[in-house]
Structure 1
Amino acid sequence: MFVPAAVVITFVCFCSFQATFGQDCRSRQEIQGSLKQVQKLLSAHEASYLQSLSNLKKKINSLQSNAGKQTTKAANSTCAKLDAPINGRKLGKSHSVSHEVHFLCDPGYELVGSESRVCQESLTWSGQQPTCRDINECVSSPCLNGGTCVDEVNQFSCVCAKGWIGATCQSTVPTFFATMTNTSAATSAAAATLPAATTGPFVRPSRCSIVQGTTHCTCEAGYTISGRDSSTCTDIDECELFHNGQAGRLCLHACINTPGGYRCSCPVGYNVTRDGRSCKDIDECATRQNNCTKDHMCINTYGSFQCVSVDCPKIPNATYVKTSPMRCERNPCPVDNKACTQTPNSFSYHYMALVSNLSAPRVMFRVSALRPMGETLRFSLLGGRLARRHFTVQRSDRLTGQLMLVSPIQGPATVEAEVEMSEVEKRVQLGKYITKITMFVSQYEF
């Protein structure tokens, strides 16, 4: 539209120039013809301009429509939520495309299925949903001499057949008897009528018989001949006899001697197992035998429980909000606040129950990046001397670091370890994520 205007100006000036020098301008008819041509040219340019505006509006509307569809698609582009397997845990909460989740099983269980699953473009998960299967310690038939194996969590116990004892029913119940020569039958008969002072729950008369002039005296199971007095049987203290012998301990925790036998007891927070010898932890959280309020989470430990509540940390130059019961995330930092960008992006909290003197080395926890932003991931261990004495952090693959137990922990104790994961691009830190693991260590080794 500007070109025709320039033409009009030039034409008027040309006529004025000719008039100035006294020359005749073109006839009015010629001028009108020229003006009509200019007017047509202007109309053509105006139509073209309007058409261009119309096309531009259509393109803008199309772009806005496509952007809205993509936003809607992006909002809905998530895979279905995955649940943690029973007796296991799930690591990773994002269900967006290309994100991964990882699965771990509790001690005493093995993973069956995919350890990691990825959200695919088709909005379906790769692999198969895993399960945690109890490790059957009875597969190797550890119980001897007709004993019955009872599979427990991370251990086994044996119910022995009559006449056998020991951790694997490897020893016979001792039988005690006395042989006397030239003993009359009257002595044998007298043994059946002991004085009241020598009778009681821990004292029994012996059973004697005469074979070819020789008297043989025996005691019932759980009793033995009392020294030289073959007519009296006294109780065998199995708890003392088999406390730490070759046959193994009779009881996992405490042994109580009874007339002719024994029984096992467990500390508070445990129940005696079906075999009568081992102890099984009571899950106070599952059975609601706890006093945790609604504002706290119940964490079952070996022999007890803990009520925990997560409070977001207070760090200068940054503000954190709780996005889940066990996670705090930092609010967006102002553009000009560099101190804020150096603080951790998030804090995750996890709690574990351990037995005392757990064997090492072993993997305790894994930290993984779902979708790394930088070219490098770095994992490091934070915390005090106690954490560094018992733990270290190793990389298991490009995206995963694992907390390793390197020396046993004597309970009772509460130990905290922090794993820091940093994203780095060209030596510049892009993000920092802290995982805090609190371990409640029992005073018992079961």
Structure 2
Amino acid sequence: KNTQRHPRLFLFLISLCVCFMAGFSLLLCSSCRCNYGWRGSLCDQCVTFPGCAHGSCTEPWKCVCDVNWGGLLCDKAEHACLSSPCMNGATCVEDLDQVSGSKCLCPPGFLGKVCQKGPSPCDSTPCLNGGLCQDKDGQTTTCSCAVGYSGNFCEIALDLCNPNPCQQGLECHSVEGRFMCACPDGYHGRECGSLRSSCKGQHCESKGKHAYLQVQS
């Protein structure tokens, strides 16, 4: 009866008898050459379908999924929402198209695979005067201020005329994060450091030369 229930075991025993009758040792005759789709020392273990992740087989090339796993390759988690993977009050929905077996429907203001990213404190644009807001940890911010401004929120306009950047101590005006120098006649440039040509806009004689006028302040 046992041999009827286990035909492969019966065939294995017959092969041993044939080996002994042929005069081979037990070591040479104690291994089975398995048919395609079977493995193991007694060829009693079926081979699962290639890629079967969380499953087993009762016959070759099958993939019978374990508990809480589904999909063709048993690689999709079922009942994944039982572990409450979503954060910040998000709604979990089972979705076998997802590797995790579920997806999270985030409430307004939250992002991320499991809705782990909340509203940023930079959303309220706390930095003034063109400052760049940087979210440090989701709760605090730092402001990188534009030139001419300082303070935690770039609310302080710096006096760019102190010290005076204008050449020769000329009058300086600090306006909206930049400075302006009151250049006298004959000078131009950001700091009044360049001389103008006295011939600019005028016609000189054919043998004349351009001259430069230096004005003392």
Work out whether the TM-score is over 0.5: no
Identify the structure with the greater strand proportion: 1
**TM-score scaled to structure 1, two decimals?**
0.16
- Greater helix proportion: 1
